[in-house]
Amino acid sequence: MRYGLNTFLYASPFTDAKAPGLLRKFAGWGFDTAEVAIEDPKHVNPRRLRDVADKAGIKIGSICAALGPGRDLRGTPAEQRTSMLYLTALVDQAAELGASHLIGPLYSVVGRAEAYDAKTKAAHWKSVVRNLRELADHAEARGVVLAIEPLNRFETDFLNTVEQGIALVRDIESPAAGLLLDTFHMNIEEKDQADAIRRAGRHLVHFHACGTDRGVPGDDHLDWPAIVAALRAIRYDGDVVIESFTPDVEVIAKAAAIWRSIVPHKDDIPKRGLAHLHKVFGKGTKRPSRRS
């Protein structure tokens, strides 16, 4: 098991200039991996970033996509083309970085949550499957896996539950497409998180451990022992990543509806969150990177 931290907690956008300080900080706290949110491929040079991570003593475990305005695989033809160019570039960067996964709600712009009739929903589904199947083919060739994340109903109407996620992955029909489950979103959409994890089974390729208020994992009402038991039951061996937000990063705070300070200091989230993960999962062991 490797433990990671998403860069959105501290930076938007994440850039080459911000990388050394942040990655050293993450490594110093004891994280094995960084989940790097790349909002524009031009913001980072993969070779330079890989070297920075190596020097800091941390791995780039995954790249987090940012599906903002204009990026929507169920949108207009222009939006779909823009999205595919962006996501394909991130797959290529992940391969250069030695990152195993491209993660996030890869299907649609975050915040698009509306009621559609059955015919429109079917057209959206067909469009997303077609595009993600093409992206998965490219990812497979580059040794990268897509980790597709269901979000809660307030952030998308397209993919909310583990059952919908499984259906999407099955329709994509690629070994390079799997599911990312997030405890924050599951707390809203799933009746039983442990059961949802078990149902995901072999389709689960990435996991976000977040507090129910987007704060510190463990400072909440979740049944963490049951979650851990479920992950062990399906023999999950991927990264467990803390993806939390604070009002300090204004763009992300607005997108995630973070209107108040959840912790006295944002460093409490990674420090106490990692301590909680070590307590419930164990210290874990670092797996060798693909470039070692």
- Please report, for the domain that includes residue 78, its CATH number: 3.20.20.150
Show which residues are catalytic.
149, 243
The answer, yes or no, to whether residue 286 has pLDDT greater than 60, is no
Record the pTM: 0.94
Report whether pLDDT(249) > 70.
no
pLDDT digits (tens, 9 = 90+) for 81-138: 999 999 999 999 999 999 999 999 999 999 999 999 999 999 999 999 999 999 999 9
**Domain assignment of residue 142, given as a range:** 2-281
Distances (CA, A) of 75 to 71, 72, 121, 150, 199: 8, 5, 12, 18, 30
Domain-embedded: residue 291? no
Bigger pLDDT: 281 or 257?
281
pLDDT at 254 over 80: no
Residue 261 in this model has a pLDDT that exceeds 80: no
For residue 175, what are the contacts with CB-CB under 8 A and spacing of at least 6? 140
Task: Report if residue 286 sits inside a domain.
Answer: no
- The answer to whether residue 287 sits within a structural domain is no
Vertex 61, ends 60 and 66: CA angle to 5°?
A: 90
Q: What percent of the chain has pLDDT over 90?
A: 88
Please check whether residue 268 lies inside any domain of the structure: yes
Asked if residue 292 belongs to a domain, the reply is no
User: pLDDT at position 290, please?
Assistant: 34
pLDDT at 253: 64
Indicate whether 210 belongs to any domain: yes
pLDDT in tens, 22-40: 999 999 999 999 999 999 9
289 within some domain: no
The number of domains in the chain is: 1
Measuring CA to CA, which residue among 104, 97, 207 is closest to residue 155? 104
Residue 244 in any domain: the answer is yes
